[in-house]
């Protein structure tokens, strides 16, 4: 067995649950769920969906950390309209703390990466190991940790996805996206033994198109890999000007589009091990629907 695989299996998320301890303060101990947001092809809306999901989980009362795993082309802060910095580089050299590197908005915490860092480019860092170390050091502080993984079949990204408890693969109706998503799931199966994934069809234009993509990909995976694909649903293509896309997509405005996204998110929760309940004891979806009506 390859040494990286051995190392991964020794630290796999399901086997490394922390025990309750004094450093948990007043937070009731419960396992943190780690979720990879990934895709075989770039430009499928992965980062926007990761941000939206993390913000909604935080809004419903869960302490949520989103880690931008695209180490030198970080886009999460940009989509939030925040200035670009390379604090992550200083975190790796221990010049600043984890907390100093975070962007914090209530229960939503973001760990952005770098943009055009020469040091990251020149140094051969095992960023997968670094990020897993960060997760294992801080998972007791969060209910959810989401990883916005780089698109494609890079080894570091694949290891991070395999480490997580769940993987949400983002695919669009584009043929190359479907093919690349299958390749991603195939390697996760063959290299890491991952047999279960979740799927979101993004940017579909009609119900027929959505059904075709979901059915084609899930049946191909079942027939050739024997894996299980949970179809979470689809996000219809938005007719929004590019300059205002992020503002609309990440908005908390109570409209049918946001209502659909929340249903999709909570559908994932039910498939992944139970409904997400806000601190008030009422599900965010239920509260949202009451607000809408």
Work out the average pLDDT over 174-203: 97
Q: Is pLDDT above 90 for 72?
A: no
Among 33-42, 238-247, 270-279, name the one with the lowest average pLDDT. Answer: 270-279
Structural domain boundaries of the chain? 31-292
- Residue 85: predicted pLDDT: 87
* 8 A C-beta contact, residue 235 and residue 265: no
Over residues 29-42, mean pLDDT: 90
Q: How many CA atoms lie within 13 A of 13 on its CB side?
A: 26
CA distance 191 to 259: 37
pLDDT at 2: 43
Query: What local confidence, expressed as pLDDT, does residue 286 receive?
Result: 41
pLDDT at 17 over 70: no
More confident residue, 133 or 282: 133
Which of 2-16, 73-87, 110-124: highest mean pLDDT?
73-87
Average pLDDT over residues 256-281: 73
Q: β-strands 108-111, 103-105: how paired?
A: antiparallel
Residue 275 pLDDT exceeds 70: no
Does residue 117 sit in helix, strand or coil? coil
For residue 18, pLDDT over 70 is answered with no
- Model confidence at 291, pLDDT cuts 50, 70, 90, reads very low
pLDDT tier at 276, thresholds 50, 70, 90: low
How high is the pLDDT of residue 256? 85
pLDDT score for 24: 37
Rounded to 5 degrees, φ, ψ at 223 are -70, -40
Q: 243 pLDDT exceeds 70?
A: yes
Tens of pLDDT, residues 163-179:
999 999 999 999 999 99
CATH entry 3.40.50.720 includes domain 31-292: no
Q: How many CB atoms lie within 10 A of CB 68?
A: 25
- What does the alpha-carbon distance between residue 34 and residue 58 come to, in Å, rounded to a whole number? 14
Dmax of the chain from CA atoms?
Answer: 56
């Amino acid at each position: 067995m390859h040494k990286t695989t051995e190392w991964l299996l020794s630290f796999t998320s399901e086997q490394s649950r922390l025990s309750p301890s004094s450093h948990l303060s007043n937070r009731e101990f419960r396992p943190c769920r780690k979720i990879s947001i990934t895709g075989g092809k770039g430009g499928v809306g992965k980062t926007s969906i990761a941000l939206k999901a993390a913000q909604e989980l935080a809004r419903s009362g869960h302490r949520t950390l989103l880690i931008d795993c695209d180490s030198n082309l970080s886009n999460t802060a940009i989509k939030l309209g925040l200035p670009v910095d390379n604090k992550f580089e200083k975190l790796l050299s221990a010049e600043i703390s984890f907390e100093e590197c975070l962007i914090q908005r209530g229960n939503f915490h973001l760990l952005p990466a770098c943009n055009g860092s020469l040091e990251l480019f020149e140094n051969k860092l095992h960023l997968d190991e670094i990020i897993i170390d960060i997760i294992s050091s801080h998972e007791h502080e969060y209910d959810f940790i989401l990883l916005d993984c780089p698109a494609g079949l890079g080894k570091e990204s694949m290891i991070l996805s395999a480490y997580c408890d769940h993987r949400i693969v983002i695919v669009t109706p584009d043929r190359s996206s479907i093919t690349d998503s299958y390749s991603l799931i195939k390697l996760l199966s063959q290299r890491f033994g991952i047999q279960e994934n979740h799927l979101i069809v993004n940017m579909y234009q009609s119900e027929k198109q959505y059904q075709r993509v979901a059915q084609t990909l899930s049946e191909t995976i079942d027939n050739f890999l024997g894996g299980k694909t949970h179809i979470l649903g689809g996000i219809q293509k938005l007719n929004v000007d590019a300059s205002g896309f992020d503002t609309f997509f990440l908005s908390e405005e109570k409209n049918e589009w946001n209502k659909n996204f929340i249903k999709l998110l909570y559908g994932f929760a039910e498939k992944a091990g139970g409904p997400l309940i806000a601190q008030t004891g009422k599900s965010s979806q239920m509260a949202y629907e009451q607000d809408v009506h």
